[in-house]
Structure formats: C-alpha cells, structure tokens
Chain A
Amino acid sequence: MNLSFLTIRSANRIRLRPILITVAVLSVILCTALGFVSIKLSQHAVAEEIRKTERAVTRLRSENEVLLAAVTRLSSRQHLTSLVAQSKIAANYITADRVARLTPPASDEGDSATRTALNTVPSRSATR
C-alpha cells in the first residue's frame, strides 16, 4: 500500500490555533456573561441585605426614640411629682438643721495657697 501521498505537508491537519482562539473568545464571553450574572445576583443579594439592615436600623432607632420618650416622661418632674403626691415615692425636704457643711480649707495669707496635708510644713515638735 502506497502511503507516500500521506506526507505531513499534504495532510488535512486539524487547525488548533483558530479553534483555541475561538474557544478562548467564547470562554471569555461565557465567563464574562456568567460573571455579569453572578455580579448581578450578588448585587441583588447585597441590596436585599442592605434593605433588611436599613429596615432593622430604622426599627431600632424608632424603638430607641420610643424608649427615650418613655424614659423622659417617666423621669419628668410632672410624673415624679404625681408619684410623690400619690405617696408612691417618699420624699422629704432636707431641713437646714440636717445639712452639714465642711469648713472651707484655710489658706495662708502669705501665699494664698490652700493648706493641705501634703503641703503643710510639720511643726517642730512633730519632727522630733
């Protein structure tokens, strides 16, 4: 059998280069499309998370304000006064004879410095 005509030069070779280029281009296009879809999905997922988080934050802020308003009302003078009037809180004014006042610290007239335990010079008898 004469196979001389089947030389490499004349064989109908599979041309890999254009195939590879085509596959590469198609792959790039496919990956880009998939990537685009994936990014879009991620965007939607993130957007949904943002929406939920925003809603939760709004809800928390709202609850916070409701609680702040409640605390303000319950600690208001009007409310406390009414509690005192209903004897739910026992409050008495401090009479003057029950107020103890500390004597203001004495200062040396020479330098106007306040005398404290730290800067008071010990007397001679104390040093002995």
Chain B
Amino acid sequence: MNLQARRTGFAVAGIAIICTAYSARLVDLHVVKHEEYARLAAEKHSFRQPIQAKRGMILDRNGEILATNLPVRTIVADASHIQNPDELASLVAARLELEKEAVLEKISTGKKYIVLKRMVPDEVAVALQNELQARKLRGIYLENDSIRTYPNGAMLGHILGYLNHERNGVQGVECTMNKELAGVDGHRFIERDRTGKEIMLYRGAEAPAEHGKNVRLTIDMGLQSILESEVDAAFDKLKPETMNAVMVDPSTGEILAMVSRPAFDPNRPGDFQPSQMKNRAIIDMVEPGSTFKIVVAAGALNEGTVTPQSSIFCENGRFSYGGRTLKDHHGYGHMDVHEILVKSSNIGSAKMALMMGGEKFHEYVRRFGFGERLGIELPGEIRGLVHPPNRWDKLTITRMPMGHSIAVTPLQITMGMSVIANGGRLMAPTVVKTIEEPDGTVFRANPPRVIRDVVPKETASFIGNALVGVTQPGGTATQARVNGFEVAGKTGTAQKVSEKGGYAPGKYVVSFVGYMPAENPRFTLLVMIDDAKVDSSVNYGGIQAAPIFSRVAERAARHLDLIPTAPSVPLQTAPVVSATTPNRRL
C-alpha cells in the first residue's frame, strides 16, 4: 500500500511538474513575450501602408499659387494575385501605353511587388482600375503619388527652387523651407484577404499624415511679372552674360521681386545647366562701381569728417595718389558732397575716404551690410569680399569708395540703398512672409527685422536728396526718371573682373539702384547688367540700366496705385542700344 501510494505520489508529482512546465511556457509565450510574438505575427500577415503627407503650397503675398501638387498614380502588380496574365497584360499595356511583351515579362516573375509605370495621370489610372473591375481581373494596384508643378514655368524659378527624386527641396524656398513644406508621412497597418482587398476589421494602429504647411512669400507676382518682362526684353537686346534685378520694400526688407538671367524652368530642371540655376542676386560677387559712393558719403557726413557745406577740391579730373592717377569722367573743381554724388566724382569720393581714414571707412562698409550674409531665406547666400584695412594696399582706400577692390552681392547693394531709402536702418532681407496651416491660419509670421541702425535719419535724408539730383538734369541717370514721381538713385559702372585675374578689357558690369517715390519710398530697385554686348562708349549704368529702372518703376507705380506727386516732365526717349555682337542666351 505504501509502495502504491508512493508510486501514485511520484506519478502525480511528475504530471504536476510537466503541467507546471507547460503552464510556465504558456505564460512565457502569452504574457512575457506577448509583444514580441504579436509583432512577429503582425509582420507575417499585415502591411504597413504609408499615408503620404501632402506637400504644402507656395503662394505669393496675395495668395497666388506658385507651387502646387498634381496627383498621379504608380501602377504596381502583385503576380501572386494574377490569374489571367495574358488578358491583364493586354489591357494594362493598352491603357498605359506600354509594350504587352514587357508587361507580360514583368508579371511572369512571380514577385509580389512589381512597378509597371510611375507618374500615371489620375484619370488614366482610375479608368484602368474600373476596367479591371469590370473584367474581374485581379493583381493590379494603384499607389498614390504626386508631382510638384510650378504653373508659372521659369518665372521666379530661382526663388522657388525644385525637388529632387526623393522629394526634397534642392534650391530656393523649396530647399530652405523643406521641413515646413514637406510635412510628415503617416502610416497604418492593414491586412488583406486573398484577393488583395483590405480587411477593414483588422485595420491596425494608424498614425495620420501631418500635411505640409503653406509658405506665403513676400513676392508680389504683379511686380515680378513686370520685372521679368522688362529684364527679358533687355536681355534679348543687350545679350549680356548675366543680368539680375532685385526689388525690395525698403521699410520692411521684404523682397517684392527678384529676377536672375539666365533662367530655368523648375518643372523640368534636368533640361538646364547648373549655371542657369544660379540665383545670381545672392551668389554672384561683383564690384559695385559708383553705387558704392553712398557709403563713403554717408560715413563722412555722419562722422563729421565733412559737412553738407564742405567743399572738396576734385583736382580737375586727375588725382595722383600712391603712384597712380585716379581720374574722373569730367574734370571737376571744388564740389560739395551733394555735387560729388550727383556728378559721381571718383576723386571726391576718394578724398572723403582719405579724410575719414581706412578704419572708419571700413567700419561703415560693414555697417551697411557689405561683407556679411544678410540672412535671406534662400540657400547659398555669400558674404562677398571685404578685406580689413590691414590687408589693404596703398591704393585700396582710393579705389574702394568708388566700388572697386571690393566684391558684393546684388542683394547687398539693394539693401545698402534701402538704408538710405528708409531713413538709416539696415533691414534683414526676407522672402518668406508667413507660414500657414493648410486651412490658411497663420502658423508663424516673419515680421520685419532691423539688423542695425546705420546712420541717423538726417544723414540718410541728405544723401537721399543728393540721389534725387542724380536723376535730375545734370545728373548721371536722367533716363531713370519716371513721369509724375521723384526718383532717387545711383548709377554704377565697373570693369568686369577677369577669371584670369585683373580686369577683362572692354567688359563692364553696369547698374542702377534707386528708389521711388523719393519722399516716401515704396520700393528699392536694382538693375544690373553684366557685360552687355554694346559699344563701350554707351556701356554705362546711366544709359543701359537706368532706362530699365524707369520702365519698371513706371509700371510698378501703376500696379501699386501710387498717386503722382511730382509735376509731369517729358521723358527722354531712351531706346535700349541693341547688341553689337551676337551672344548665346541660355
């Protein structure tokens, strides 16, 4: 009995141990490793279906759409679901304009994911889907995709930029605002039945897509259109190497229009050369020429080196300094600061710089924003080249005031002139006005930012008055005048720097930068032409760039509905001189 009881005890204990072991294993499988095995099971039969976030639109300041998305479909096949490959291949090939044999070859591989065609227009894809359903053919699926379109083509291409194959911005606002525009893709876990149809009951966790935000630019497409058409006309006639123009609201630093030639169409960036995609207003360095004289004049006045009444002897047009002779276009005697600017005297400007001293002059060059990135929301902005006084040679102090021995970007010149236009403040240039939710509510505003106060209002006002004189009879830019308005501005003509070093003979970068109306500026505009194919005797900022400024400003005044304040004056007929040699337009 005892033996039997013991045997029974052992058997029960053995069974209990086995049961306990199994129970422990079950607990291990179901409780401890639940997450791990649930995930493994889900991976076997569920799919992670991506939910594509919609890229935000780019708008101009008035809400005009500049970049949007066009839905397209990617047609894919699952060979394991295909029962009638021949009929299916015939239909797909006919609808998608493919070779039947090629389709048949692809779907015969037995793979579960075969891309048949990308970028299929939505209506074509839907028609195909309906026909497949009608004929009860299975195994073809549509995936949502989209392409970025720029309805205005090449217009504003340098500002907008474009996307690469991974849908990341490469240039322009598409690049700098990529994070805001792109949004965040979502996903959901789904299961499909044997026919490939989603089983809704088993739809798993879902993370909704966070659509990209819209970016509203400061660009006014009305002004941009005016500027582009005038620049294009001049580019065709003058056939320069490059040309660019920048229009800014001087009181806020907002870029109203920006044009760079040659241009490219962001809808098909692959068709263009990298040189055509450069936004030269922020990437190119040029010697500014006489437009730079406002810096030395403002600095000298502000430091008290000269007064409005000071008379400076301009050496009758020939000034020997440092072993070299500095010349003026005409021989001038004694002139005050106003006259030096109106007549654009190199010698007068050089003497003001000499009176200021190199350190002070350099300080004002930097205060005007030259030699620093101004922080515009566009990629690739450069600083320019402003050497410190300890690296200057003996001649630099006489060359820099007239815009030589220094390299600046067209944007810096425009913002420098805006300092005079707005009463002495250097504003940060900006091209992004607001970032908005898809429903239009403002997510983040980009208010105007003052970089620094450069000169007092009185100094800016004095320089401004002199710049009005530049466009009046006797000034260097009478062709910049606009009927009914007072224009302030400055011409610039600089020899082009050669890639081999030194200056390229017979090649000039000519420009005009000004603002209007002079008494209450609504815009500052720079027009810069690099190596126009015209005779050297007429290749001056006042002759080539100023008339373009005038035409743009007149049309801009109409667009902005500016009320004429000055008495009408008969404008000079100022035809653009046609090119003397043919040039390639990219």
Interface residues of A (CB under 8 A from B): 43-44, 47-48, 50-51, 58-59, 62-63, 65-66, 68-69, 72-73, 75-79, 81, 93-94, 96, 101
Contact = CB atoms under 8 A, between A and B. Distances in A.
A3 B411 CA distance: 125
Contact of A77 (B123, B146, B221): B221
Contact of A47 (B122, B200, B484): B200
B70 A65 contact: yes
A72 B201 contact: no
Given A65-B69, A69-B69, A59 B126 contact: yes
Given A66-B70, A72-B68, A51 B198 contact: yes
B201 A73 contact: no
A111 B146 CA distance: 60
Contacts, number: 59
B201 A77 contact: no
Interface of B: 64-65, 68-71, 122-123, 126, 144, 146, 149, 151-153, 155, 197-201, 221, 225, 483-484, 558, 563-564
Contacts of B69: 65, 69
Contacts of B70: 65-66, 69
Contacts of B201: 43-44, 47
A50 B563 CA distance: 60
Contacts of A94: 558
A18 B422 CA distance: 100
Contact of A66 (B71, B144, B152): B71
Nearest to A64: B71
B198 A66 contact: no
15 contacts: A43-B201, A47-B201, A63-B122, A65-B70, A66-B122, A72-B68, A72-B151, A76-B65, A76-B152, A77-B64, A93-B558, A94-B558, A96-B483, A96-B484, A96-B564
Nearest to B125: A62
Given A66-B70, A78-B155, A50 B123 contact: no
Given A73-B151, A77-B64, 11 more contacts: A43-B201, A44-B200, A44-B201, A62-B144, A66-B70, A69-B151, A75-B151, A77-B152, A78-B153, A78-B155, A96-B558
A68 B225 CA distance: 22
B151 A48 contact: no
Contacts of B123: 66
Nearest to B153: A78
Contacts of B155: 77-78
Given A50-B200, A66-B122, A66-B123, A78 B151 contact: yes
Nearest to B568: A96
Contacts of B152: 76-78
A59 B126 CA distance: 9
